[in-house]
Amino acid sequence: MRRHSNPQGMLDFSPWDPKIRAELEIMNKVLREREEVLDLILKDIRGDADPDDGRPGMSAEQVLRVAITKQRYQLSYDLLYERLSDSINLKWFCKFEFQEVPSASTMQENIKKLKPETLEAVNDALVSYAREKGLEDGKKVRIDSMAAETNIHYPTDARLISDCVGVITRLLNRTRRILPQAGIAFNDRTRVVNKRVHAITDCRKEDARKGLYADLIRLGKEVLQFAQDGIKKLRQVTGTEEEQELGQIMADDINFIAEKLERIIDQTDRRVMKGEHVPAKDKIVSIFEDHTDIIEKGGRETVFGHKVCLSVGKRLVLDALMPRGNPADSALYSESLKRLVSKNDGRVPESVAVDGGFTSQANDEFARELGVKKVYFSKPSRRGVLSTISAWQRKALRGFRAGIEGILSTMMRVRGLTRCIWKGWESFQSYIWASIISENLLRIARDLAKREAKAEASG
């Protein structure tokens, strides 16, 4: 029966979900038992500042827990602020019980300071905790790679020239307004450049497209000349010491984009007008995220970002290797194993299972010389590698290796490893490690909860 309004609530009304609270309490306990990592967090967020100066700010514990919460739920900073302010459970977990939740910009500023080396150490501490509790022993390991995108639009040469022209024009406009004595003179070409970009996108005939590109390159060179003239005038600007210093800073900002524009014009001229093949290492695919690599995924698709090679045990992500460029999977095998042995106090995994991309005779020999007893490649015969393990062992390791696909899928779909939205190469690495930490901590908490429930049921 539907009612006009709800009756008075029960006196034992609980303001939080007990299941979520129980999970967070276990996560809290795990972090409490690894408080030594907070010294590293504190060093990052404090920097070179005097610890006795200024306001208290967010504690190291709060920064770590907020970062874990953000990556667990894949929230923007604005949504993170709303969720923390609205949730009693999350507010308790992040240690804001008796204080106001910091603003979105404050949380962003603190999380941005976390270095990838620090977050890697946090993950190592979690893995060590899991070993002590018998949740992970590191004896069986599976390795696989994935590609994580950086936060850029699809990089066409025309769009990159348009981006550079737009940024240079804004910088020159700002300079002319702030330092009129510099005498900056230029013509705004953003509108006509954008028209050429749209025309190139809509053009279907190759000859006509070449003509449009030639016009776009001409306009790009014209804007490049405006930028170079502006840089020269800013280097010689007169006035107060503060104005001269500001002129140097603005000149550096314009020069940063001008150098990118010059390289993009060159690669466009070589690729489109001269028909040359420009190597991936020589290409620019973003003017700001210039660390972005071009990752070819077996001829199936191209990803603009970075390769991430994950080493996974029974349940947890034990390590992550983030190389520059686009190295073959087989080139990452030995380095991944070395890192695993180093992080496990010199203990070598008994079994290592990988897919066909890691297969090579050298990798097989390296693993055996290292002391790995069971070495499994999903396609050993493809490169002449002879398997020395029995049929039933191959079958067991094949199933074990296949399980990493589900973990990779979870990391990409749920923890945001499909696309990194933090800016810069160092922040890209921090983003990956923060996502791994949030996933590992959650898995540890759920495994411990199952163990406690099983103990209660049996006892």
From CA 432, how far away is CA 419, in angstroms rounded?
Answer: 10
Tens of pLDDT along the chain (459 residues) come to: 677 776 666 555 556 677 888 999 999 999 999 999 999 999 999 987 666 666 778 999 999 999 999 999 999 999 999 999 999 999 999 999 888 999 999 999 999 999 999 999 999 999 999 999 999 998 999 999 999 999 999 999 999 999 999 999 999 999 999 999 999 999 999 999 999 999 999 999 989 999 999 999 999 999 999 999 999 999 998 888 999 999 999 999 999 999 999 999 999 999 999 999 988 888 999 999 999 999 987 667 899 999 999 999 999 999 999 999 999 999 999 999 999 999 998 999 999 999 988 988 899 999 999 999 999 998 776 666 767 788 899 999 999 999 999 999 999 999 999 999 999 999 999 999 999 999 999 999 999 999 998 988 886
The secondary element (H helix, E strand) that includes residue 144 is strand 140-150
- Contact call for residues 307 and 293 (beta carbons, < 8 A): yes
Bridge-partner residues for 397, per DSSP?
none
DSSP 291-310: T-EEEEETTTEEEEEEEEEE
| Nearest Cα residue to 183 out of 220, 240, 226, 225 | 226
Q: Which residues contact 209 (CB under 8 A, 6 or more apart)?
A: 200, 203, 272
From CA 101, how far away is CA 103, in angstroms rounded?
Answer: 7
| Nearest Cα residue to 136 out of 144, 146, 124, 145 | 124
The secondary element (H helix, E strand) that includes residue 352 is strand 351-354
pTM attached to this predicted model: 0.92
DSSP 375-399: EEESSGGGGTPPP-S-HHHHHHHHH
The secondary element (H helix, E strand) that includes residue 82 is helix 77-86
What angle do the packed helices 116-132 and 38-46 form, to 10 degrees? 170
- Domain covering 119-125+133-152+291-424 assigned CATH 3.30.420 in the classification: yes
Unique residue bearing structure tokens 């990052």: 44
Both tokens assigned to 34: 């690894």
Write down the domain spans for the chain: 18-112, 119-125+133-152+291-424, 157-282
